[in-house]
Amino acid sequence: MSELYEKLSVLSERIKQLKDQIKTEEATKQSFILPFFQILGFDVFNPLEFCPEYVADVGVKKGEKVDYVIFKDGEPFIIIEAKPHYDDLSKHESQLYRYFSVTKCRFAILTNGIIYKFFADLDEPNIMDSLPFFTLDMENLTDNSVNYLENFCKQNLNTDSILNTASELKYLNLAKNSFKKLIENDNDELEKLIISEFYTGQKNQSVMEKFKPIVKRAISSYLNEKMTSKFKETLTQNDTDTNQADTPEEASEEHNIVTTMDELSAYAVIKSIVRKTIPVKRLSPKDTESYFGILIDNNTRKWLCRLIVGKKNNYLILPDENKKDVKYQISSIDDLYEYEPQILEVINRYL
């Protein structure tokens, strides 16, 4: 997991916890949007780099201002229009379209602090495309979305680099959405094609009605298995303690493990807590059916904590001096920050 993913995961969890209490656009900016751009490396309090209320007069209309502009080499590079988190962004795209045409920017972002829509002028120079080439959902982060977001970190900003992949990404997302509609909606031709692979009889109405729900469940099951496999591939590592071999029971258990976003978010919080005490690369996850564990040096004898999150009752479990479990009940992943002294005390015992 990259450092960017870790930081965004912490912000993502904070958004989930705070959004019901955030009631205004200004609060959305301060709590969600400015921290997002700080994570990308921008000094949001330096108007020469991240300028608020940038004048973007449109025709005879004077005093028009876009919420923020990111500067690169002294020139406007990205315009940003910010809305409250509860707003539907689609009704504000025309406003951003107008601002885009009167600036020299090649990129624009429309956001409510949860959804970030990235636009460019891929179809016609200086005219913003009607569709975003990239959309980020802070409540549903993925490896691919965060990897692409790296292009918009301050140290990576490059027009050619972004444009080279933006067009491909735009049409990739369109194709993905088309496939999603194909899967989620009734599509007789697709269903007939799949059914014909395993059923050779006549495909009359009663046969189709029988197999349609089975085909849909099969597709859903396959996609879920692929996602689970990807999580395991990312998180599962060999134990460096050669004296600790997996038992047959442990090997069998791995087949039932699904790593959740709550567990990944909690892992990111733990990393942020210990970052100043120990290099985070020394931490590694060990997911099990009953808990999500975090090891030091990938050694099962040096377990830092165990987490039970996303359940009715959530817990942080720490080892005492005798490696006995000490359990703390938490109401949210943010509560982990309250146990920073106890977590650091465990680390210091291993150092």
pLDDT at 246: 47
Q: Residue 328: inside a domain, yes or no? A: yes
Whether residues 278 and 202 share a domain: the answer is: no
pLDDT at 163: 82
Number of domains in the chain: 3
Residue with tokens 């197999």: 211
Q: Across-strand partners of 52?
A: 68
Q: Determine if the pTM surpasses 0.75.
A: no
pLDDT at 1: 56
Q: Residue 243: inside a domain, yes or no? A: no
Whether residues 216 and 325 share a domain: the answer is: no
Q: Across-strand partners of 296?
A: 283, 299
Residue of 77 and 256 predicted with greater confidence = 77
Q: Residue 181: inside a domain, yes or no? A: no
Residue of 198 and 341 predicted with greater confidence = 341
Q: Identify the helix (H) or strand (E) that includes residue 286.
A: strand 283-287
* Interacting residues of 115 by C-beta distance below 8 A, sequence separation 6+: 89, 135, 136, 137, 138
Confidence of residue 241 (pLDDT cuts 50, 70, 90): very low
Least confident of 11-15, 205-209, 226-230, 310-314: 226-230
Q: Residue 318: inside a domain, yes or no? A: yes
Indicate if the alpha-carbon torsion angle 152, 156, 157, 161 is positive or negative: negative
How far, in Å, CA of 277 to CA of 309, rounded?
Answer: 24
Whether residues 23 and 69 share a domain: the answer is: yes
Whether residues 16 and 55 share a domain: the answer is: yes
Confidence of residue 320 (pLDDT cuts 50, 70, 90): very high
How many helices (H) and strands (E) the chain has is answered by: 11, 11
Residue 265 has pLDDT above 60, yes or no: yes
Of the chain, the percentage scoring pLDDT greater than 90 comes to 36
Of the chain, the percentage scoring pLDDT greater than 70 comes to 86
The stretch 284-296 carries a mean pLDDT of 91
Whether residues 36 and 142 share a domain: the answer is: yes
Whether residues 267 and 204 share a domain: the answer is: no
Q: Across-strand partners of 54?
A: 66
Whether residues 201 and 330 share a domain: the answer is: no
Task: Give whole-number Cα distances, 243 to 170, 239, 299, in Å.
Answer: 50, 9, 10
Whether residues 156 and 200 share a domain: the answer is: no
Whether residues 90 and 163 share a domain: the answer is: yes
Residue 303 has pLDDT above 50, yes or no: yes
Whether residues 8 and 110 share a domain: the answer is: yes
How far, in Å, CA of 220 to CA of 222, rounded?
Answer: 5
Which residue, 343, 297, 295, 305, is CA-closest to 325?
305
Backbone phi, psi, residue 102, to 5°: -110, 10
Confidence of residue 232 (pLDDT cuts 50, 70, 90): low
Whether residues 218 and 84 share a domain: the answer is: no
Confidence of residue 243 (pLDDT cuts 50, 70, 90): very low
Where helices occur in the chain by DSSP H, the ranges are: 3-18, 25-28, 34-39, 93-101, 143-149, 159-184, 188-196, 205-235, 248-253, 261-274, 340-350
- Domain carrying residue 39: 3-175
Whether residues 194 and 299 share a domain: the answer is: no
